[in-house]
Amino acid sequence: MKKKYIFFDIDGTLAVGVPGKQYVPDSAKEAIARLRENGHFVAIATGRSYAMAYEHMVELGFENMVHDGGNGITIDNKLLGITPLDYDKCIELIEECKRKDFIWAMSPDNATRRLAPDERFYQFTQDTYMKTEVKPDLNPLDYDKIYKLYIACNRDEEMRLDALKGLPWCRFHDEYLFVEPIDKSVGIKAIVDHLGGDYKDVVVFGDEVNDLSMFIDEWTSVAMGNAIEELKAKASYITDDNDKDGIYKACRHLRLI
């Protein structure tokens, strides 16, 4: 069997449930174990930062990962690098947020917390996805890198930010949006190039809007049954829901196991 390079999104694909109350179905665990036995390369492909995703990678039994929305890669448990966002464009967006009184926070390093200039970010979002550390004298110019920005606003307000149009961003919550890398295919290609593989031997699994970037014609893409319709329209194959043995069934269908 020819070696394949297989990448799994976490939330809604590998993991069932919401963050903090998730589990991986036994059938998915069995499929991944059999993929390894058959000599395939398996990895996670997530929008989460390395700091936020590393424990999940270990818990799920993986050693390889595309993270930071495609801007970071880890192979054999070794972080090979993370590319930050465009610094000048981030500063421009923060300055616009200040002028227009938008609530903002930032991740200037690879850490499990974000920085905010005041309490308003948590007060508005009540978000516990990651800890928000208040730094009253926060000045983004004191940092030489910016990996993510977070803008707290309602959906009908976001397009008032002109600088947002020059940066990659997505929204998973009604209360705030993420300014972060959103092209997982960049990290996937970087890993396959590093390993000397061929893009046509890549297989990706996903379910949400931030997986659209890795559903491209250069390789095989599998949409979960619970995936958004836009992703299913781009998929090479649509499997069952992630809580109905979707990963296992797709691996069998593609003759990977």
How do residues 88-128 score in pLDDT, each as one tens digit?
999 999 999 999 999 999 999 999 999 999 999 999 999 98
Q: Pick from 146, 179, 212: which residue ends a domain?
A: 179
H-run or E-run covering 132:
strand 131-134
**Are residue 106 and residue 139 in the same domain, yes or no?**
yes
**In the predicted model, what is the mean pLDDT of residues 141-153?**
97
Q: Using CB atoms within 10 A of its CB, is residue 11 exposed (0-12), middle (13-18) or buried (19+)? A: buried
When pLDDT is cut at 50, 70 and 90, the band that residue 169 belongs to is very high
- Judge if 92 and 79 occupy the same domain: no
Q: What is the CATH number of the domain that holds 71?
A: 3.40.50.1000
Could you say which of 179, 194, 220 is where a domain stops?
Answer: 179
Does 86 have pLDDT greater than 80? Answer: yes
204 three-class SS: strand
Residues 11 and 25 in one domain: yes
1 has pLDDT over 80 = no
Res 41 pLDDT > 80:
yes
Phi, psi of 100 (to 5 degrees): -100, 10
* Distance from C-alpha of 14 to C-alpha of 29, rounded to nearest angstrom: 9
Give the rounded percent of residues in the chain with a pLDDT score beyond 90.
Answer: 90
User: For position 141, which CATH number holds?
Assistant: 3.30.1240.10
State mean pLDDT over 216-231.
Answer: 97
The number of angstroms, rounded, from the C-alpha of 248 to the middle of its chain's C-alpha atoms is: 22
Q: What is the pLDDT of residues 120-146, one digit of tens each?
A: 999 999 998 899 999 999 999 999 999
Do 139 and 28 lie in one domain? The reply is no
pLDDT of 60 > 90? The answer is no
114 lies in the same domain as 33? no
Domain end residue (candidates: 179, 198, 218): 179
Residues 197-213, mean pLDDT to the nearest whole number: 96
| 13-32 confidence digits (pLDDT tens) | 999 987 668 889 999 999 99
Question: 240 and 174 in one domain?
Answer: no
| Per-residue confidence band for 37, with pLDDT thresholds at 50, 70 and 90 | very high
SS3 82: strand
**pLDDT for the residue 165:** 93
Measured between alpha carbons, how far is 16 from 32 in angstroms, rounded to an integer?
A: 16
**Same domain? 65 vs 111:** no
Average pLDDT score over the chain: 95
Percent of the chain with pLDDT over 70: 99
Asked whether the predicted pLDDT for residue 76 surpasses 90, the reply is yes
The domain of 96 spans 87-179
Confidence of residue 180 (pLDDT cuts 50, 70, 90): very high
pLDDT number for residue 22 = 83
For residues 244 and 206, membership in a common domain is answered with yes
* 100, 64: one domain: no
Provide the residue count of the chain.
257
> Quick one: 93 and 173 in the same domain?
yes
pLDDT at 172: 85
Same-domain status, 192 and 67:
yes
In a shared domain, residues 112 and 163: yes
Domain count for the chain, please give it: 2
